[in-house]
Chains A and B, each alone.
Chain A
Amino acid sequence: MTAGTQPHPVIGLRREREVLTVALRTNRHVVLEGPPGTGKSTLLRAIAADVGQEVVFVEGNAELTPARLIGQYDPAAVLAGGYVPESFTDGPLLTAMRGSGLLYLEELNRIPEETLNVLITVLTEGEITVPRLGHVRAAAGFRLIAAMNPFDAIGTARVGQAIADRMCRVVLGYQDAAGERSITGAVTGAPADLTALAVRLVRATREHRDVRMGSSVRGAIDLVLLLGGLLEMRGLTGLADDGARETTRDAAYAALSGRIRIADGVERTAEAVIDDLLAEIWPEGGPPPAEEPPPGDGGEPGKAEGPPAADQQAGPESASSLRRDRRSGGARRQTGRREMAARHESFDEVSPEVGEFDEEAFSALMAQDADAAAALLTDLALATDRELRAAAQRVAARVFVQVGRVGRTRTRGTRRLVADRRGDGDLDLDRTLDRWDPGRALAPEDLVTRTWTGARRAVCLAVDTSGSMTGLGVAIAAVAAAGVVLTADERLQTSVLTFGAQVDVVQRHGQRRAPEDLVQHLVTLRGHGMTDLAAALRAVRGQLLPAVADERVAVLLSDCLHTTGDPPETALGGIDRLHVLCPLPTPEAEEAARALAARGGGTAEMVRSIRDLGPALTRLLG
C-alpha cells in the first residue's frame, strides 16, 4: 500500500476495505462483525476520512434509549419557547441524517431492540417521524455502519431479522502474524524483537486450550509499551539481558491477564496461562526467542483471504470443551442390545436389526406412550451399537426439542419504555409539563421519567443429575433444558447447569447453545452420587448475578432431597424467585419440593410425564 493512494493507512484487511468502500459507494448500510481488536473502528475511520464524510459515533449499550439516539426536546427551551423545532436537540441519528454523514453504531448487539426498531424505516425509507417534530428525511449520503462482536460474546443478543435484513455484513477476523507485527510496530515504534515477542505471546493466548477468548492486538501494543518502559526503568538494554524474561512476564501479566478469558470450568488463573505460554515461547534460562521470519511469499501483510474460520472462538464444541466433556463423562456406560431388549418391550420394533432405527415405529410409540418412548430413546442414545446410538441422539435432539417447544404458547412482547415515578431514566417532558402547575415551583414528585419496564428476566435452569437419573428422568431433563432455552429472547436470558455433588455449567449465561446441542449433551448424562442443592443454587446465583435483569429466576429440576452440603434454604440469596420442577415425584419429594419453592417465592410443578413439562414451563415462564 502506498501513502499516495491511501492517506489513512490500514494495515492488512484489503478485502474487507474494498467491500466496505464499495458498500458505502453504493449506499448500502453495513454491519462489521468481529472479535474485539480486529480493526473495526480503525477501518471505518480510515474509509470515512477517505470519502470525506463526517462520522457520528454512538456507543451502543443496554441503556441506549430511542430518545438518546434520535434526540429530544430541551426542557428549558420548551418552557421558554414551546415545542418549536429550535427547542429540539438533535441526537446522533438526526445529526447524521441531516448532515449527510455516517452514523457509526458500536456494539450494535448490545442495544435494546426497541431502540434498534427506530432504525427500521431509516434504513429502508431514509426517513423518520419524530413526535412533535415531524418528518425528517436523510440527506443523500447518509449511511449507517454498525459494528458488533460475534454473537457468543457475553452480554450480546442476536440482532433482529428486521434490522439484519436491511444491512450487509462484513466479517473481520484476527490479522495474520505479519499484519499484527506491522500494526504493533506502527503504533509503538518499538524494535522488531519486542513486537515479534509480544505478537507471538498474544497470538498464543488465542490458541491455548484453557482460554475461551484470547487477547486482541491491543494486548500486543500494551505489552510492547509496558515492556519497553520496564526494561528502561530496570536499566536493561534489551531482551538479551539478564532479567529480561522476568520483565517480560511482569509486562505480560499487566497487559494480558485482564484481556484473556479462561474457558468455562477451568480452574486456572490468567497468570498461570501466561506463564505456560511464556515457558513455551521463551523457556526459562534460554535465550530470548528469535524473531519470526517475514512471510516468504512477500505478500501484503494482513489477514489471510476469506472470512475467519468459524472455530476461532472456543464455543461449546471446542477442543478444550470436548476434553472436559470426556473427563466428566469418563465412566459413561453403554448399553448392549440384549440389555435394552430386556428393559424395553418395544425395543425390537424400534430397532429390529443391528444399526437400525425405525423412525416410524418410534413415532407410533411416541404417540401411544410418550414416556415409554422417551425412556427408550435415552437408553438408545447410549447404545453400544454405534449407528443406533447416532440415530437415537439425532432423533432425541429433534423430538425432545419439539416436546419442549410446546411450552411456549404466550408471547411476551418486546421490552417497553414506560413512565416511572422513581426518577430513574430519561425525563418525560410531556408528562412532566402536564403534571406541573407553572404557578408553583417544580417539586420532585412532578418529574416523570421514562425507563425500561421491569420485566427483563434472567432464568437459570439447574438440572439434578444425582441419584436415579435414568430413562424417563433423563428425558425430562433434556426436554426441560430445551424448553427453557427455547423461551429465551431479548427479555429473557437463560443459562443451564447440571449438578450432583459437583456443578457443571452446560450453557453459560449470555452464551448461546443450540437446544438440539444441549439435548444431545443431556441425553448422554446418567445420574449418580450425592445431591448438593445448596452448591447448585450458589452456582445458579453466579450465573444470574451478572445478568442485566429485573428478575433473577432459578428453575430447579430436582426431587429437592439434598444429601450433602448446606441446607438449600440457606443458599437462596441473589435469586428473586425459585421455581421447582419435581420429576416423577414421590410423596416425600413432593413435600420437599413444595417447601423449597415456597421458601424461594415460586411454585412447585410436579412432572409425572414428559407431557407435563410443556404446560409446567409455560406456567412458570410464559
Chain B
Amino acid sequence: MKTRAAVLRDVGQPFEITELELDEPKAGEVLIRFVAAGLCHSDEHLRHGDIVPRFPIVGGHEGAGIIERVGPGVTRLQPGDHVICSFLPVCGHCRWCSTGKSNLCDMGATILDGMLADGTYRFHDEQGTDYGGMCMLGTFSERAVISENSAVKVDPDLPLDKVVLIGCGVPTGWGSAVHAAATEAGDTIVIYGIGGIGINSVQGAALAGARNVVAVDPLPNKREAAEQLGATHSCETAEEAHELIQELTRGVGADKAIITVGVVDAKVVGDAVNTIRKGGVAVITGLADPTKTNIELNSAMLTLFEKTVKGSLFGSGDPFHDIPKMVELYQSGDLKLDELITQTYTLDQVNQGYQDLVDGKNIRGVVLFDTPPLEGAPA
C-alpha cells in the first residue's frame, strides 16, 4: 500500500513530502490512518541536528487516528478503534513497566531508529531503502504500521484533532509539573520556556494547586497564553523571574522549577537551580544534544542546600494510565486543548509549520489529514 509522508533524509534538510510503500501489519502491529499529528519540537531537533536519528526517517511522533487493520495476535485493538499514539511504546512486562515507570519501557530504546519491535521497518521507498518512523510512529504520514503497544484506545466521540496533543506534548508538560516536580497545593512553581510543553506544565501546576505559577518566556504571546491557562505571573527573563520569586516567597525561593526551553543549556539550568529553595527540585524536561556535555553546576550548592536536579521523560507518568486520564480532564474542562492549538496545517505544509514553531508564532501547530478510509475499513 502507498502512503504520502514527510521524511527527513539528513541533518539540516527540510522535510520532503514523498510517497512511500507501507507494509501490512505483522504480529502485534496495527495499520493506523492518522487523522491528526502534532508538530512537536523534538522533530525539529532531528531536522536541526540537536539530536541525530537514523536517516531516512518519517517524522512525527504525536498522532491520533483510526485503526484500519490489525496483524496476527493483536488483542487490545480492532479495526475502527480510535486511538491516541503514545510516543513511547509500553511493553507491559519489562522491569520499568512492571514497576510503574512505563515511560522508561525498554522498548523505547530504538525510537530514534524507528524500526518496530522485531527489528524491521514497514516504510520503504522504490529502491527498497528502509525508512524508520520517528518514535516507532512516523505520524507525518497518511498511514503507518505501528506496534499495538504504542496505541491507547479512546472513546469514539472524542475530537481526535484536539486530543492528538495528549500523545506527547500535553502529558510531558503536565506530568513534569504533576509527577516529576510533584507540585503540592500552595507551591511556588517557575516554568522556563512556554512552548508546547511549558504551557502544559503551567496547566498541570495550576491544577495541582500551586499558589504561584511563574511562566518565563521572552515572547509576549507566550506569556499571554500562559496567563490565560493558569500562570499567576509571567516574566520576560529569568532574572526578572528570580527577583519576583524572591519577593513572592520572602526570599525562600521557588519550590520547584521546570525547564521546558527548546534547547537546554547551562544558563537556564543554573538559573533554575539558583531560583529554587533549599531542598527544592529543578526538573529538566527540555532536550539537548545527547552526545555533548552542556551544563555545569556547583556541587556544593546542591550539597549544602540539598537541591535536586532531575530529568523527566514523558512527564514521568505511565502513558496507558495518563493518556486516558488526560482525556477525562479535557472533558471535565480542567485541561485545555482547544486553546493550545494556534494553527493547523496540511501534510504539505509541515515545513511551514516548523518555521512558525521556530519563529515563536505557535503554542501548538497541528497537521490535519483528510485521507479517505481504506475500502472496506470502518470510517
Contact = CB atoms under 8 A, between A and B. Distances in A.
Nearest to B331: A334
Interface stretch (A38-46, A237-245, A380-388, A474-482): A380-388
A573 interface: no
Contacts of B157: 336-337, 354-355, 383-385, 388
Interface string A302-341: 0000000000000000000000001000111111111000
Instruction: Label chain A's interface by main secondary structure.
Output: loop
B99 to A, nearest CB: 31
A343 to B, nearest CB: 14
A494 B67 CA distance: 53
Contacts, number: 34
B155 interface: yes
Interface string B325-354: 000001111100001000000000000000
A386 B156 CA distance: 11
B155 A334 contact: no
B333 A336 contact: no
Contacts of B159: 384, 386
Contacts of A386: 159
Contact of B333 (A331, A337, A355): A331
Contacts of A330: 333
B158 interface: yes
Contact of B331 (A333, A355, A388): A333
Nearest to B330: A334
Nearest to A355: B157
B156 A354 contact: yes
Interface in B285-341: 330-334, 339
Interface residues of A, number: 17
Interface in A361-400: 383-386, 388
A335 B334 contact: no
Contacts of A334: 330-333
Instruction: Label chain B's interface by main secondary structure.
Output: loop
Given A354-B157, A384-B158, A388-B157, A335 B331 contact: yes
B79 to A, nearest CB: 16
A384 B155 contact: yes
B331 A384 contact: yes
Nearest to A339: B331
Contacts of A336: 155, 157-158, 331
A310 B93 CA distance: 62
Q: Which of B156, B157, B333 gathers the greatest number of chain A CB atoms within 10 Å? A: B157
Contacts of B158: 336, 384
Contacts of B334: 331
A243 to B, nearest CB: 30
A330 B159 CA distance: 19
Interface string B149-169: 000000111110000000000
Nearest to A337: B157
A51 B331 CA distance: 66
Nearest to A353: B156
Contacts of B339: 326
Contacts of A354: 156-157
Contacts of A383: 157
Contacts of A337: 155-157
A168 B141 CA distance: 58
A384 B330 CA distance: 9
Nearest to B334: A331
B332 A333 contact: yes
Interface string A419-430: 000000000000
Contacts of B156: 337, 354
B373 to A, nearest CB: 14
Nearest to B159: A386
A338 B331 contact: no
Q: Which of A330, A331, A332, A388 gathers the greatest number of chain B CB atoms within 10 Å? A: A330
Interface string A509-530: 0000000000000000000000
Q: Which of A326, A331, A384 gathers the greatest number of chain B CB atoms within 10 Å? A: A384
B265 to A, nearest CB: 33
A105 B196 CA distance: 58
A383 B155 CA distance: 12
Contacts of A335: 331
A383 B331 CA distance: 9
Given A338-B155, A385-B157, A388-B157, A332 B333 contact: yes
A338 B332 CA distance: 14
Contacts of B333: 330-334
Nearest to A340: B157
Nearest to A327: B228
Q: Which of B330, B333, B339 gathers the greatest number of chain A CB atoms within 10 Å? A: B333
Nearest to B82: A354
A337 B156 CA distance: 9
B324 to A, nearest CB: 11
Contacts of A332: 333
Interface in B133-155: 155
A388 B339 CA distance: 21
A386 B35 CA distance: 15
B358 to A, nearest CB: 28
A337 B158 CA distance: 9
A333 B158 CA distance: 14
A333 B336 CA distance: 11
Nearest to B161: A386
Nearest to A338: B155
A386 B161 CA distance: 11
A407 B63 CA distance: 52
A167 to B, nearest CB: 45
Nearest to A335: B331
Contacts of B331: 333-336, 384
A335 B159 CA distance: 13
B81 to A, nearest CB: 12
A388 B156 CA distance: 12
A347 to B, nearest CB: 12
A338 B328 CA distance: 12
A473 B156 CA distance: 29
A385 B159 CA distance: 7
B209 to A, nearest CB: 15
A510 B158 CA distance: 41
Contacts of A384: 155, 157-159, 331
B66 to A, nearest CB: 11
B337 to A, nearest CB: 11
Nearest to A383: B157
A355 B158 CA distance: 10
A437 B105 CA distance: 109
A338 B155 CA distance: 9
B289 to A, nearest CB: 40
Contacts of A388: 157
A27 to B, nearest CB: 55
Contacts of A333: 331-333
A456 B339 CA distance: 45
Contacts of A385: 157
A565 to B, nearest CB: 26
Nearest to B230: A330
A327 to B, nearest CB: 9
Nearest to A331: B333
Nearest to A386: B159
A54 B18 CA distance: 76
B64 to A, nearest CB: 14
A335 B330 CA distance: 10
B338 to A, nearest CB: 10
A335 B331 CA distance: 7
B282 to A, nearest CB: 30
Nearest to B328: A336
Given A331-B333, A335-B331, 9 more contacts: A326-B339, A330-B333, A332-B333, A337-B157, A354-B157, A384-B159, A385-B157, A386-B159, A388-B157
Give the 4 A-B CB pairs with smallest separation, nearest first.
A385-B157, A331-B333, A334-B331, A337-B157
18 contacts: A326-B339, A331-B332, A331-B333, A331-B334, A333-B331, A333-B332, A334-B330, A334-B331, A334-B333, A336-B157, A336-B158, A337-B155, A354-B157, A383-B157, A384-B158, A384-B159, A384-B331, A386-B159
